[in-house]
Chain A
Amino acid sequence: MMKNNNGFKREPLTDTQLLMSITIAIFFGMYILAMIILQGGFLHAQQVFDMLNDNASLIIVSCGLTVVMIGAGIDISVGAVTSLVVMSCVLYLNGGGNIVGSILLALGIGLAFGLVQGFLISYLDIQPFIVTLAGMFFARGMTTILSVNPQKVEHDGFAALRSVKIEINALGYTAPNGNFIPARMELGVVVALLCVVFIFILLKYVRLGRGFYAIGGNQQSALMLGINVKRTRFLSYIISGILSGISGYVFMMHTGAGNATNAAGMEMNAIASSIIGGTLLTGGVGNVIGTFFGTLTLTTIKKIVVSSGLNQPWWQSITTGGMLCFFILLQSVVLNKRNAKKK
């Protein structure tokens, strides 16, 4: 690629890059179309910030899932762990805990899930779906054991932390009543973006990250290359676990309350985001930037459905399903064509 100017043939895009670029192109295409046709909120930068504010924890969870999926695994406990972290931190803060303690608690719960699940999957060779399914059941059950009723955080320090918002005046707009409203971004979004960058660097430049691709692509070859397959897989689940912990904290900062039904269905949304972003469940292919745009694409579809006047409650998920179908088919067709060419 560097010698492009000297007349050398340009290296073809890898599967990862191809799938990611399709997603990013579709996201921008869709958003620009929405800006032209639907206008309204789509013309304000706040729309993008709202999408980020609402989905910061989903983005974080999806990052972890992408790592696991690249290593040819699956982790469906993430949503339930998020919910458990929210509930335990809320109870801890209300019981007189401090902020640092609650952050450590969130990370600890995430790490514990990652450790146990990772150990069972990589060292005892049990199917990841079953282990993380059990993890999901356990976390959901523990959440209701902690409290069936919704709990609101009543902690001054946390309230102060929650109210911290990053305001960007340049992107603000003037409301119809004449008030100027700057674009607001929550602290959780910054955490989410940091996670994306961290995972991106990990996957691209760190030996461990390349190891995830290797074990996902072909476990046997990875073993022959001298990669410690078991340890690498173990670490991928630990990363996913810790990110679920962080996601739980961010979720709590967004909602400020714990509820047994928090983050319901988040694992499937996270899987969908990763898939739309070009990660394959078979492993070895994927990119966290794609996942980031996958989450945004998923949210944009929902926003478009709402603002185009399809008010019945069923349209949102039906269009989401349709969109998912489109992306999955597109990827399958594109990859099959490429593989046929290679042969």
Chain B
Amino acid sequence: MSKNKKKIFSGGLGQLTIPVVAIALLVIFNLIRDPSFFGVDLAHNNDGNIVLSGNLISIINGASELAILAMGMTLVTAACGGQDISVGAAAAIAGSVFVKVLKTSPEISGGKVLLAFICACIVAMIFGSFNGTLVAIFKIQPMIATLILYTCGRSIAYWINGGATPTLSSPIITAIGSFIPGIPIPTPVLIVIAMAIVFKLLFKFTALELFTQSVGINQSAARLNGINSTFIKLLSFIILGVCVAVSGSIGVSRLGLINHETLLLDVEMDTILAVAIGGNNLGGGKFKIGGSIIGAYVIQMLTITLYAMKVSSTDVKAYKAIVIILLVVIGSPVVKEKFGKFMSKLLENRSKETVKGA
């Protein structure tokens, strides 16, 4: 009996406690503040299509790039016990390659977009394997290894563009960045769902999840069991590369232009935060990709909530910081333990009282 009690108070949902509680708190807060906050309408957009609109849709839509990056980052975090801080810079490079290939000739066709995306993927995977090589083979801590690309990535993107910020205008790009005619759901959201399904299938039909976890928990033990930890680490960075290419391409399509300085600015910090809010240990080991995805939506919901409360976009960071600290303090093992003890004491006293009363 007492064992069960303890389990409930030290987090019944396990790893997903923090993200689920956070999202629930935000939803409740918003409903109290403004009951119509989550209202979803069907409206005509500028192109005359019927599309979904409302705060909820803009939250889900806006968090797409972040959610995709968070999936890849979770794998890297789990396998290497460290984070890739170059995702924003790498996304700028991938986006530049995407635009560069599309700009080779004036007309843009579906096949060409696919080709451009594949090129962006290959480049992002090359940069991913560069980071991966430093981490897996040269045994450098991930944060330091990726600091190199963080420092020079956006400049490389600038270099690829030849010092310009080229724009794209084509119905296909608009379809990727906002809505496909006839479908009311924003395309980036569909891409997130597709990516999530790909990851799910990957984990279902390969042993990637198990191998990644074992490498993250104990590398030597994993090696003794015949797992090639170098390869797993490298693979996690290459998979992150694909995620980076996808979100870079979405980011470019959304705006219709590539700006190497502002494309997915500061996204690396948000991504790591999403992974942490998702209840994943930043030191590696067990992971849940679902947690990270929820984490990404928590961050976006927080941002949109603050915007709705008329906080200016530059000031949002300060409020975000306070919420982050509150979340991690609630989630910290020390506080959890203290709280659990306090609650069980409270319950004990109450049960004693009831015994006395009887």
Whether B334 and A124, one on each chain, are in contact in the complex, defined by CB atoms closer than 8 angstroms, is yes
- B306-358 interface with A by 8 A CB criterion: 312, 314-322, 324-325, 328-329, 332-335
Contacts of A280 in B (CB 8 A): 141
User: Does B152 make an interface contact (CB < 8 A)?
Assistant: yes
Answer whether A328 and B273 are a contact pair too, CB < 8 Å, given A120-B329, A141-B315, A336-B139: no
Contacts of A125 in B (CB 8 A): 332-334
Whether B145 and A328, one on each chain, are in contact in the complex, defined by CB atoms closer than 8 angstroms, is yes
Interface size band for A: 35 or more
Whether B159 and A137, one on each chain, are in contact in the complex, defined by CB atoms closer than 8 angstroms, is no
The residue on B at minimum CB distance from A317 is B155
Contacts of B220 in A (CB 8 A): none
Cα A136 to Cα B272 in complex, Å, equals: 14
Binds B, one of A17-25, A127-135, A193-201: A127-135
Whether A141 and B319, one on each chain, are in contact in the complex, defined by CB atoms closer than 8 angstroms, is yes
Whether B147 and A126, one on each chain, are in contact in the complex, defined by CB atoms closer than 8 angstroms, is no
User: Does A173 make an interface contact (CB < 8 A)?
Assistant: no
Return the CB mask of B179-193 against A: 1 if under 8 Å, else 0.
Answer: 000000000000000
Contact of A272 among B83, B147, B282, B317 (CB under 8 A): B147
User: Does A329 make an interface contact (CB < 8 A)?
Assistant: yes
Contacts between the two chains (Cβ within 8 Å), count: 139
User: Does A268 make an interface contact (CB < 8 A)?
Assistant: yes
Contact of B140 among A124, A130, A320, A328 (CB under 8 A): A328
Whether A314 and B139, one on each chain, are in contact in the complex, defined by CB atoms closer than 8 angstroms, is no
Cα A275 to Cα B143 in complex, Å, equals: 11
Q: What is the minimal beta-carbon distance from A66 to any residue of chain B, in angstroms?
A: 14
User: Does B158 make an interface contact (CB < 8 A)?
Assistant: yes
User: Does A145 make an interface contact (CB < 8 A)?
Assistant: yes
Contact of B148 among A123, A133, A324 (CB under 8 A): A324
Whether B317 and A138, one on each chain, are in contact in the complex, defined by CB atoms closer than 8 angstroms, is yes
Whether B318 and A268, one on each chain, are in contact in the complex, defined by CB atoms closer than 8 angstroms, is no
The residue on A at minimum CB distance from B163 is A312
Contacts of B150 in A (CB 8 A): 268
Cα A5 to Cα B60 in complex, Å, equals: 73
User: Does A140 make an interface contact (CB < 8 A)?
Assistant: yes
Contacts of A317 in B (CB 8 A): 151-152, 154-155
Q: What is the minimal beta-carbon distance from B256 to any residue of chain A, in angstroms?
A: 23
Contacts of B144 in A (CB 8 A): 271, 275, 281, 328
User: Does A169 make an interface contact (CB < 8 A)?
Assistant: no
Contact of B332 among A126, A313, A314 (CB under 8 A): A126
Residues of B within 8 A of A (CB): 83, 134, 138-141, 143-145, 147-156, 158-159, 163, 269, 272-273, 276, 282-283, 312, 314-322, 324-325, 328-329, 332-335
